[in-house]
Structure formats: C-alpha cells, structure tokens
C-alpha cells in the first residue's frame, strides 16, 4: 500500500506543534507494519539545512496563481523517503511554517499551502519518470486539506484521508482568491470550499476527503456538537452518521521514558520512585521554590486560552494554601504570561513560571512533579498528559477530547467536568487526599507509568482504515459514492 503523508510540519526538520510529532512518528510506525509510506512537505529552510542530499524527481508547472515548483526526494538516516516541494519564493522564509518572525500570518499562506496540496495531487496522478505513485493521500490539517479537492477537480482516482489535529485552525481566505487558487466556480458553494462567504481549506477537505479522522475518539464526537464543532458541526455530523469520521488516538514516542532520559541526572522507573523526590528537590532549588514536603504540581503548555490557564490562576491560591507548589513552563500569549507573572509575585517561593520553550526543562518538570495540571477547554489529543503518566506525575485534567480517552479517573489521574473552577478544585482536592495516602498514591503512579501509549495500536487502526478507504469506488462524478454525500446534501 503506497501512502503519501501531506504535511506542513515534520519533527525531523520543522516543528510548530504536535502535528510535527505525528507526521514523523506515524509514517515510521506504518513502515514497520510493511506499508510504503512517504512524506511530502514544503521545503522550508530547516528542510534544506538538514544537510541530507536532495535529488530532483520532477518539475511541476504553475496552475492559476500558484507558482511552478520542483519536487525533490531525500532519505532520512532511518530510510524514510521525504519529498520536499521546492518553491523558494514561497518557502524560503524565516519564522514558523505559517507565521512571520513578528507572529503574523504570511499574507500568501493560501498560495503557499495550495502549492503543497497541488503537488500532492500531481504525485497521486503519477510523476513522469518517477517510479512511485501513492494510492492514497493522508492529509493533515488545513494546510494540506485542499489536496482531496484537487484530486476531485482534476479527476485523479487516488483516495484521501484527512486528519484534523485541531478544528480551531480552519485556513480561511477571502472569496476573491478563488481564481488564483484554481478553484472551479461551481466548487465555491456549500457543497465545496465555501464557508460563510469565504474559502475554507479545512471545510474543503471535510467535504472532498473520502474519510476524516481526528486524533481521539472523544474529540471525534465533540466536533459534531455546536459547542466544539467550529461552525462545521453540520458537516461533521453528516460524516459521523455516514461512518466517515473516526477518532484514532495518537501514540507517544518511546523516547519519553524516565529510565532512559538523558535530560535527567538520575533516571528512574516505577520501582525507583524515591528518585522523583530528589529530582523535585533539585528543581525547587533551581526555581527558587521553598524546600517542601508538599506536592509539586507541574504544567508545561502553550500559554493560550485553549489550555485553561485562567483556571490554574483561579485555583493557585487554594493549592498554595493547602501546602502545594506549582511549576509552570510555557510560552504564548503576552496577556496570559502577564497574568501568571502577577501570580508569581503574589506567591513567591510557592509558584514559579519559566517563560520560553525549553525541552530539557520540560523533561525535568515532568520528572519532578507529583501532579500535572491540564485544564484544557478542549484537547484534540494532547501529548502532555501521556508524558506525565509515563513519568509518574498524575494528570489533573478536564474530561475532554484525548484527555478523557487516555486518563483513567481515580486510577491514573483525575478528570473533572464541567469546565470551571469548582470542578477543577474538587479534582485538586482529590489529588491532595491521594497524596496523603501513600499506598494509594504509589499505586496510582505505578498504574500510570504502566500504561501503553506506543504507536503500534494507532498504526494498526490507520492501516485498517487505509484498506477500507482504498476499497471505495468512485461514482460516475468521480466522487466517492457513499451515504456521506447524501447526508451533506441534506444539510
């Protein structure tokens, strides 16, 4: 089975969030199962600077307002084949894959990612002189979501799967860009790319992909509701009713292992939990937290509204009053950071904020913590709660998305619902009670550390899905003939 991953991030080279990890780990897990999975991504500066030889395999013409490009081929040291899309005027830029160094969207992001999607469709048609043609495109998030649409518009029979890592990012652009993007006039409607008068890349992917997945079963249900459906819940509900929406939980890389963690001075496992105490004492010293016998509550997070930092701020005083301490590592919205800095001033010695992105420190905070705070408003999958459990830090998390799917309440962590300070505080109180009951606390930590979060299970689910989707026959319009279209038409 030849499958092409289409992605804007890939952890080997370019990472902005969790998508990069999935795009790097899942193809490798699928290759271990014998699938021929390869990856296509924009040739961002980091890709070219990786120092791997690049061989040019094709030159693609422009289309509408989309520039021509070259398709390269490179091989990672472990043998994964990567196709960078070489269009220097689009991709040779500083900043993240999406943003200028000042943090603004690049004004031509539509053309930049349409170029990626179009290149993927061309590959699925077959590149002259290149001996590999994918049978299925696995597209990730809005930057790749036009690929299933180009397949349909150009009559290319390859199948497509779209994975939504976060429905909050929809890739919306003004309607007047339609011609530049090569979107047929007839496709600018509810049965196509149009979303409230704009061009919606993610909407297009939801409409044209043969199958849609999200990164946890609970999130797959949640995006069919008005609350978390981002205005697309009519479409997602139609997909769900037609059996075309699936949630598959992400795996966690085996590198997250306290027994083999180069960032820790002392490794440990479930039989050497006393080591955690020493790591915590060292962290307290380095963060200017007072020596303490109380529990340490860790948090590593992007500091954004989604992550519920406001609940942490509301409950911080109660945690400190009960003898707890809080160590937060994160970076994000200036207003959220400013709010946390005010808290630090109020609770010196009991609460610390390390501002910035710091991978070694993320490992040390996990290892030092007794509990981990994750009161996310929504969480498509979440990796941090899996990392926390593997490091014996019990997560205290809102029962949403992947948090609800990976934490067993009262056994490997604490879940609360509804979202709000009362329920959160109740969960924190349960954590304090557990901390005082040493046997229960140790049993929970052992259970959490014993959970399996590897990629083997998810990779098997994706393989089964690919086989089902690859078996779908297109109808006479070149679209997949399934109840999904009937469901969408009925909206």
Residue nearer to ligand ADP on the CB measure, 238 or 308: 308
Smallest distance, Å, CB 364 to ligand ADP? 10
**Residue 334 burial (C-beta neighbours within 10 Å; 0-12, 13-18, 19+):** exposed
Residue nearest to ligand ADP (CB): 18
**Residue 81 burial (C-beta neighbours within 10 Å; 0-12, 13-18, 19+):** middle
Smallest distance, Å, CB 404 to ligand ADP? 14
Question: Strand pairing partners for 246?
Answer: 213
Residue nearer to ligand ADP on the CB measure, 18 or 42: 18
Q: Are 253 and 260 in contact (CB under 8 A)?
A: no
What the block records as the tokens of 472 is 């779908």
Residue nearer to ligand ADP on the CB measure, 187 or 407: 407
Residue nearer to ligand ADP on the CB measure, 182 or 330: 330
The owner of tokens 């790319």 is 193
Residue nearer to ligand ADP on the CB measure, 154 or 331: 331
**Residue 73 burial (C-beta neighbours within 10 Å; 0-12, 13-18, 19+):** middle
Smallest distance, Å, CB 18 to ligand ADP? 3
Smallest distance, Å, CB 455 to ligand ADP? 15
Residue nearer to ligand ADP on the CB measure, 302 or 377: 302
What the block records as the tokens of 421 is 């300070």
Order the strands of the 198-200 sheet from edge to edge.
172-173, 198-200, 194-195
Smallest distance, Å, CB 127 to ligand ADP? 33
Smallest distance, Å, CB 410 to ligand ADP? 22
Q: Are 335 and 303 in contact (CB under 8 A)?
A: no
Smallest distance, Å, CB 365 to ligand ADP? 9
> If you ran DSSP here, which 8-state letter would residue 208 be given?
H
Residue nearer to ligand ADP on the CB measure, 72 or 382: 382
Q: Are 75 and 52 in contact (CB under 8 A)?
A: yes
Q: Which residues contact 88 (CB under 8 A, 6 or more apart)?
A: 43
| Phi, psi dihedral angles at 86 (to 5 degrees) | -95, 105
Q: Are 140 and 165 in contact (CB under 8 A)?
A: yes
Residue nearer to ligand ADP on the CB measure, 34 or 103: 103
Contacting positions for ligand ADP (CB under 6 A): 17-18, 300-302, 329-331, 357-359, 362, 381-384, 387
Q: Cα Rg for the chain, rounded, in angstroms?
A: 23
What does 71-133 look like in DSSP terms, one character per residue?
A: EEEEE-TT--EEEEEE-HHHH--SSSSSB-TTSPBPTTHHHHHHHHHHHHHHHHH--TT----
Please state, in angstroms and rounded to a whole number, the distance separating the CA atoms of residues 250 and 22.
Answer: 7
Smallest distance, Å, CB 375 to ligand ADP? 13
Please state, in angstroms and rounded to a whole number, the distance separating the CA atoms of residues 379 and 138.
Answer: 22
Q: Is the torsion defined by CA of 308, 310, 313, 314 positive or negative?
A: negative
Smallest distance, Å, CB 337 to ligand ADP? 11
Smallest distance, Å, CB 307 to ligand ADP? 7
Please state, in angstroms and rounded to a whole number, the distance separating the CA atoms of residues 420 and 399.
Answer: 12
Smallest distance, Å, CB 166 to ligand ADP? 7
Residue nearer to ligand ADP on the CB measure, 1 or 168: 168
Output the CA torsion 146→148→151→154 (10° steps): -50
Smallest distance, Å, CB 308 to ligand ADP? 12
Residue nearer to ligand ADP on the CB measure, 18 or 72: 18
Residue nearer to ligand ADP on the CB measure, 116 or 365: 365
Helix, strand or coil for residue 331?
strand
Q: How many CB atoms lie within 10 A of CB 329?
A: 23
- Write down how long the chain is: 491
Start-to-end CA distance of the chain, whole Å, equals 35
Residue nearer to ligand ADP on the CB measure, 134 or 330: 330
Please state, in angstroms and rounded to a whole number, the distance separating the CA atoms of residues 139 and 133.
Answer: 16
Smallest distance, Å, CB 163 to ligand ADP? 14
């Amino acid at each position: 089975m030849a499958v092409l991953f289409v992605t804007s991030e890939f952890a080997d080279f370019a990472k902005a969030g969790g998508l990069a990890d999935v795009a790097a780990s899942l193809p490798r897990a699928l290759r271990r199962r014998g699938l021929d999975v390869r990856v296509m991504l924009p040739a961002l500066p980091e890709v070219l600077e990786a120092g791997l030889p690049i061989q040019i395999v094709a030159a693609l013409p422009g289309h509408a307002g989309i520039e021509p490009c070259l398709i390269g081929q490179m091989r990672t040291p472990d043998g994964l084949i990567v196709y960078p899309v070489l269009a220097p005027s689009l991709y040779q830029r500083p900043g993240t894959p999406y943003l200028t160094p000042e943090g603004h969207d690049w004004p031509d992001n539509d053309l930049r990612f349409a170029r990626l999607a179009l290149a993927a469709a061309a590959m699925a048609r077959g590149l002259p002189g290149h001996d590999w043609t994918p049978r299925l495109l696995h597209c990730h998030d809005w930057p790749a979501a036009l690929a299933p649409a180009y397949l349909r518009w150009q009559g290319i029979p390859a199948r497509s799967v779209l994975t939504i890592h976060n429905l909050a990012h929809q890739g919306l652009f003004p309607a007047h860009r339609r011609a530049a993007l090569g979107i047929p006039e007839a496709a600018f409607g509810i049965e196509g790319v149009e979303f409230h008068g704009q061009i919606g890349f993610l909407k297009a992917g939801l409409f044209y992909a043969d199958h849609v997945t999200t990164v946890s079963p609970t999130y797959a249900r949640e995006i069919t509701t008005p609350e978390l459906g981002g205005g697309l819940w009519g479409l997602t509900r139609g997909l769900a009713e037609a059996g075309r929406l699936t949630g598959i939980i992400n795996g966690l890389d085996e590198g997250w292992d306290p027994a083999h963690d180069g960032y820790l001075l002392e490794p440990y496992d479930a039989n050497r939990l006393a080591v955690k105490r020493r790591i915590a004492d060292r962290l307290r010293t380095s963060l200017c937290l007072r020596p303490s016998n109380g529990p340490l509550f860790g948090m590593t997070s992007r500091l954004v509204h989604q992550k519920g930092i406001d609940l942490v701020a509301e409950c911080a005083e109660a945690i400190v009053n009960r003898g707890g301490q809080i160590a937060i590592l994160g970076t994000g919205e200036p207003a959220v950071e400013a709010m946390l800095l005010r808290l630090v001033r109020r609770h010196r010695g009991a609460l610390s904020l390390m501002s910035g992105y710091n991978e070694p420190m993320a490992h040390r905070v996990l290892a030092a913590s007794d509990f981990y705070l994750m009161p996310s408003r929504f969480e498509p999958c979440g990796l941090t709660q899996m990392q926390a459990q593997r490091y014996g830090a019990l997560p205290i998390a809102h029962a949403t998305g992947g948090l609800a799917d990976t934490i067993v309440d009262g056994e490997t962590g604490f879940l609360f619902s509804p979202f709000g300070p009362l329920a959160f505080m109740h969960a924190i109180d349960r954590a304090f009670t557990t901390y005082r009951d040493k046997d229960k606390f140790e049993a929970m930590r052992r259970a959490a550390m014993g959970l399996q979060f590897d990629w083997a299970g998810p990779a098997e689910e994706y393989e089964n899905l690919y086989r089902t989707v690859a078996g779908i026959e297109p109808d006479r319009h070149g679209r997949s003939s399934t109840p999904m279209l009937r469901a969408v038409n009925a909206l």
